[in-house]
Amino acid sequence: MKNSLQIVAEPVKVVAPKKSLWIDAWKRLKKQRSAMIGLTIVLFFILLGVFAQFLTSHPYDGFNTDKILISPNSEHWFGTDDQGRDIFSRILYGARISLWIGFFSVIGSIIVGCYLGLIAGFYGKWVDTIISRMFDIMLAFPSILLAIAIVAVLGPSLFNALIAIAIINVPTYGRLIRSRVLSVKEEEYIMSSKSIGMSNSRILFQHILPNCMTPIIVQGTLGIATAILEAAALGFLGLGAQPGEPEWGKMLSDSRQFLTVAPWTLLFPGFAIMLTVVGFNMFGDGLRDALDPKTK
**Residue-wise over 142-175: b if at least 16 C-beta within 10 A, else e?**
ebbebbbebbeeeebebebbbbbbbbbbbbbbbb
Residue 21 confidence (pLDDT)? 64
**90 HSE (CA, 13 A, CB side):** 31
pLDDT exceeds 80 at position 197: no
Distance, CA of 34 to CA of 21 (rounded, Å): 21
- Helix or strand or coil: residue 130? helix
Question: Which region among 114-118, 210-214, 224-228 has the lowest average model confidence (pLDDT)?
Answer: 210-214
Residue 163: in which H helix or E strand, if any?
Answer: helix 158-168
What pLDDT, on a 0 to 100 scale, did the predictor assign at position 20? Answer: 64
| Region of poorest pLDDT, from 86-100, 147-161, 233-247 | 233-247
Q: What's the pLDDT score for residue 107?
A: 94
Between 184 and 231, the higher pLDDT residue: 231
Q: What is the pLDDT of residue 293?
A: 55
pTM score above 0.95: no
CA distance 104 to 128: 27
What is the chain's percent helix, strand, coil content, to nearest 5?
70, 0, 30
Provide the 10 A C-beta neighbour count for residue 74.
5
Among 167, 166, 169, 179, which Cα is nearest to 117's?
A: 179
Angle of helix 264-291 versus helix 21-30 axis, rounded to 10: 130
Q: Which residues, at least 6 apart from 211, have a Cβ–Cβ distance to it below 8 Å?
A: 180, 184
- Assign 7 a pLDDT band (cuts: 50, 70, 90): very low
Phi, psi (rounded to 5 degrees) for 17: -65, 140
pLDDT value for 19 = 54
* Segment holding 42, helix H or strand E: helix 33-50
Backbone φ, ψ for residue 80 (5° rounding): -125, 165
Residues 255-277 have a mean pLDDT of: 89
**At 207, which amino acid appears?**
H
Q: Is the pLDDT of residue 77 over 80?
A: yes
Higher-scoring residue by pLDDT: 86, 5 = 86
What CATH fold (topology level) applies to the domain 37-295? MetI-like fold (1.10.3720)
The predicted-structure confidence for 125-181, as pLDDT tens digits, reads as follows 888 899 999 999 998 888 889 999 999 999 888 899 999 999 999 999 999 998 888
Nearest 10 degrees: Cα torsion 107, 284, 144, 129: -70
19-71 pLDDT, tens digit per residue, is 566 677 777 878 888 889 999 999 999 999 899 888 888 888 877 778 888 88
190 touches 207 (CB < 8 A):
yes
Predicted confidence band of residue 206 (pLDDT cuts 50, 70, 90): confident
The 3-state DSSP class for residue 205 equals helix
Residue 191, pLDDT score: 76
- Give the SS3 label for residue 7: coil
pLDDT over threshold 60, residue 295? no
For 98-121, what is the mean pLDDT?
91
Q: Amino acid identity, residue 212?
A: C
Do the Cβ atoms of 121 and 204 come closer than 8 Å? no
Task: Enumerate the domain spans of the chain.
Answer: 37-295
